[in-house]
Structure 1
């Protein structure tokens, strides 16, 4: 009864007909019950075996298939149960869940979670309370999963009261007024998602992130072999670290799951929509063929598929782009990014940066990668010493907890780049983020608008550079010049030579920052690093690229015209007359040799 209401509310008649055809072709029958098996689903969705994620996906589906009566889970995946699964796993959940994404997160967490007091109790009794600080030991992202066990009587943040509320809201949204009685069952105390299972799901989500409607997952088979597969693993480890990096826990609890995902990864599960919509399109249906028509041999050329990433960079890869799509809409990334500036090719200078980036009239993404600097006790080079001398003397400990020496930070700006004079640029949709070794996103604050600054060194502003979350350098008199950079509470600073950078997270400042503090690392930390790669990518299409090319061409013509006017026309006497008119030579001024 409930499945029928879900189908009527969420599917078109064509989708429902096609789904029934697909289910009929895939289902096995046992004791007059038609249902889908794990290997059948894996084969149909083309989930790669190398990810070892099929049992986890089947567990999720078996739990969600019991919705809205979740105490009956796991469910046999029959026709009605699969209607529930497709509804919840695609964007159609918005039509039946009263609280939308919040209710869906509860369902997805419960579908991934297991209950094991034997592991939870030692974690609580043998270790000190959780301390959100850099001194805690990190849980390995590859920690093994654990078996399902009946929980005890201790309370947790996600119990069956939440589940009952979710179920009633769903039924109410469908105008289903029959009151049902909840049966007895084990409470959802001590629920955790095993870290190993979660990593497998994240790798699948990274893989399916660019998936289009009716696009086959096998199209991306090259991403699960060799170096591409290793990049998927690295990106997944960084994401898992944001949940477990400072936790004394063998798995992910709902409180962290529900806090981190809306801020750092709001689009994390978007790839499930095109993946599970494959069940709604039957390949046997051909609406262009009429009764009695003979099959025709197709002579049309296959459609040329544009690559997900057109340009090659040293930082941005397909896995990194998928990681970005967890908090930046994928339609702005896949097949849309263009490499505007690469330090290794164009030169690590603000002049080259300006030439390549300032003409782009659409959003941009800056990525910087480097190696962490140790504390000041080691011997430093002259350039490093000069950079460290511009930073405030107070230094927080590293935010990586000793997990890695490499760091990757980035910034998303929707407004075009420009020189900073008295005010910074950027909008309230600006994002400051870290990708490696911990995935973290710092959203813009509407109170402080010091989002981005681009200031070349000059006589009045000797400390230039590129910064985010810092007040702009103010021109001052020589006797009042400051020798240190004014750091924002949550900020990223790069020096004018693009040699060194510093990311600061002053969590205890509690306000006044252009970017909000971390939701997964609630402590003070600072990462000082030597820059090895710097890139800026433009988000846009052919129109933006055309505009940029036209601007570059115009500036090149203007520069050539100025060069010809100044000197080099070939007429030495005319050039001398021009300089005399300008007062540069003549009288007591020689002006140098003209030859």
Structure 2
């Protein structure tokens, strides 16, 4: 590997010889000498006398948990990419040269050599997951014509055994297949790098309009991607397998179902086409495959190379899996868990999330009030994540004339849109929305706060992301109720509060076209997606192109700070200062000797106590 070819010789070379030539180019320009030496050493140990890798060998080396049943899916992807750039020859036998290509592409190192972007790599990943036999798919579907929710989600209840799914799903043609099924730019960049674009420039594409990813295969891969999302360089995946207990696996499986629901959409066929595969990833999961980098770089670290060991010392037998893994977040919470955190890393870079989260406010612990929210969140000067979870209000709720739910529903516009998720199972009544803010929180008077980095999202029961607009800047507001303005609350994508004039006594809270609002008692919330109107502070969903609205009763609300130890230290110091100030106010006196009387006088003056917003951190 590492030797170049002249333009005169490429036309007479076979696909296998050109594949090896490309591997040599990758090895020379994308790997350090130590990494290449380690790869050869690791490969020799795994391949043995047969000279190539097998599925069980790869699964054992990468420490893939058996309960996920994902080794076959992953090996299928590797065998497809190993044939690059002649993908019509897939599946490839995974020799050393093929593994160089696989590692280079799955870790993103190919950008040093080829000009193709991440969207081109998506075609390779899609091709590795997709099936091509349309007739077999139709015959399978004919034997099982009904598509239940369980079949669409691709398997058994999470946590009850190996993750399984539909073996084959019916393919479906995209509305405009020609635009998506042309061979990707990475292939032509590779051929051009080898100097053989002319003789091989008109190859038949390896992906056809009949290519579809079965729902079961997609679910297994999503489960793996959720598990490896926080994986760091040289970290053992086995150390994270402790998060696959029965309860953890059930939560992880439900998170995978929410992600899978986005890929499947409203189609009746439990399979994913290339058009939707690309659209979902590019708009709402751009970092979903980042975990592959750390996973496949394990091939570049040989345990036989221990530079810290002195000459003559025996090799160590320390197992990386036995080393404790630093917690990904420090506090227990009602909403945040390992699956949710990994899901967030699909659209927020993992370097900003993992081991950088601090729980600032929890309604379950600090109380469901805007005062508690303000005292715990407003002093944090780094980015924050708000998560709110609740239960969807039924259609019958609004028909009742009494109760807080009816009062809330009467305070929002009367237009009623259908729910965002059309499945009616009891578990799918659970909703989780959230917002990422890069700016500190503050009170809203005439203008909202936030910037173009603000992101609004839904995590359950469907994964979706709503990016900020560059025109309308009504990103976020925090408004306490007052007699002179509309009812307060926390809102995103809604117009700022307006004074109530004598001639206009309407208590209807205006909602933005794409918006999230939680009223000031933190009891109820509403998410609106008016796709027809377009416009607003947040862009409409790229995958759910219809109008919907979710009205829900809040069960939990949390705010997490994203920052390093220094920011956490500053926050702790601010809280300590506020506690001292509050204590000082409680002890203040006018020198009469009667502290209680002095305090009562100061409260009447509005200097301490309930009439002064800074008088307590409670």
TM-score where L is the length of structure 1: 0.88
Q: Is the 8 A contact 1:139 1:248 kept in 2?
A: no
- 1:29 is the counterpart of 2:46: no
What residue is the counterpart of 2:412 in the other structure?
Answer: 391
What residue is the counterpart of 1:570 in the other structure?
Answer: 593
What residue is the counterpart of 2:9 in the other structure?
Answer: none
1:509 aligned to which of 528, 533, 539: 533
What residue is the counterpart of 2:10 in the other structure?
Answer: none
1:40 aligned to which of 54, 57, 81: 57
Displacement, 1:485?
0.6
What residue is the counterpart of 1:92 in the other structure?
Answer: 109
Cα distance change of structure 1 residues 70 and 575 upon mapping to structure 2, 3 Å threshold:
closer
Displacement, 1:235?
0.4
Q: Distance in 2 between matches of 1:574 and 1:70?
A: 85
What residue is the counterpart of 1:276 in the other structure?
Answer: 296
Deviations 1:147-202 (Å, cap 9, x if unpaired)? 599999x9834776324x43112233566667436666876231100001000000
Determine helix, strand or coil for the equivalent of 1:29. Answer: helix
1:374 aligned to which of 394, 418, 436: 394
Q: Distance in 2 between matches of 1:240 and 1:294?
A: 48
Q: Is the 8 A contact 1:158 1:188 kept in 2?
A: no
Q: Distance in 1 between matches of 2:362 and 2:597?
A: 42
Cα distance change of structure 1 residues 483 and 572 upon mapping to structure 2, 3 Å threshold:
closer
Alpha-carbon RMSD:
3.2
Q: Is the 8 A contact 1:138 1:246 kept in 2?
A: no
Cα distance change of structure 1 residues 461 and 582 upon mapping to structure 2, 3 Å threshold:
closer
- 1:440 is the counterpart of 2:467: no
TM-score where L is the length of structure 2: 0.85
Q: Distance in 1 between matches of 2:95 and 2:52?
A: 4
Paired positions, count: 565
- 1:561 is the counterpart of 2:581: no
Deviations 1:200-259 (Å, cap 9, x if unpaired)? 000000000000000000001112221011111100000010121311323100110111
What residue is the counterpart of 1:540 in the other structure?
Answer: 563
1:225 aligned to which of 236, 242, 245: 245
What residue is the counterpart of 2:255 in the other structure?
Answer: 235
Determine helix, strand or coil for the equivalent of 1:322. Answer: helix
Q: Distance in 2 between matches of 1:558 and 1:40?
A: 63
Q: Distance in 2 between matches of 1:337 and 1:224?
A: 22
Q: Distance in 1 between matches of 2:167 and 2:223?
A: 20
Unaligned runs of 5+ in 1: 126-135, 585-595
Cα distance change of structure 1 residues 573 and 216 upon mapping to structure 2, 3 Å threshold:
closer
Displacement, 1:373?
0.4
Which structure ranks higher in relative contact order (CA pairs < 8 Å, sequence separation ≥ 6)? 1
What residue is the counterpart of 2:6 in the other structure?
Answer: none
What residue is the counterpart of 1:206 in the other structure?
Answer: 226
Q: Is the 8 A contact 1:336 1:539 kept in 2?
A: yes
- 1:166 is the counterpart of 2:166: no
Deviations 1:326-378 (Å, cap 9, x if unpaired)? 00111111111111111011100000000111111111111111110012554
Determine helix, strand or coil for the equivalent of 2:92. Answer: coil
- 1:451 is the counterpart of 2:475: yes
What residue is the counterpart of 1:77 in the other structure?
Answer: 94
Displacement, 1:565?
3.3
Deviations 1:374-428 (Å, cap 9, x if unpaired)? 1255436521121111100101011110342110101110111110011111111
- 1:101 is the counterpart of 2:118: yes
Determine helix, strand or coil for the equivalent of 2:472. Answer: coil
Q: Distance in 2 between matches of 1:536 and 1:321?
A: 13
Q: Distance in 2 between matches of 1:76 and 1:572?
A: 85
Displacement, 1:282?
0.4
Cα distance change of structure 1 residues 45 and 402 upon mapping to structure 2, 3 Å threshold:
same
Cα distance change of structure 1 residues 13 and 498 upon mapping to structure 2, 3 Å threshold:
same
Determine helix, strand or coil for the equivalent of 2:119. Answer: helix
Q: Is the 8 A contact 2:445 2:496 kept in 1?
A: yes
Q: Is the 8 A contact 1:97 1:104 kept in 2?
A: no
What residue is the counterpart of 1:133 in the other structure?
Answer: none
Q: Distance in 1 between matches of 2:555 and 2:529?
A: 22
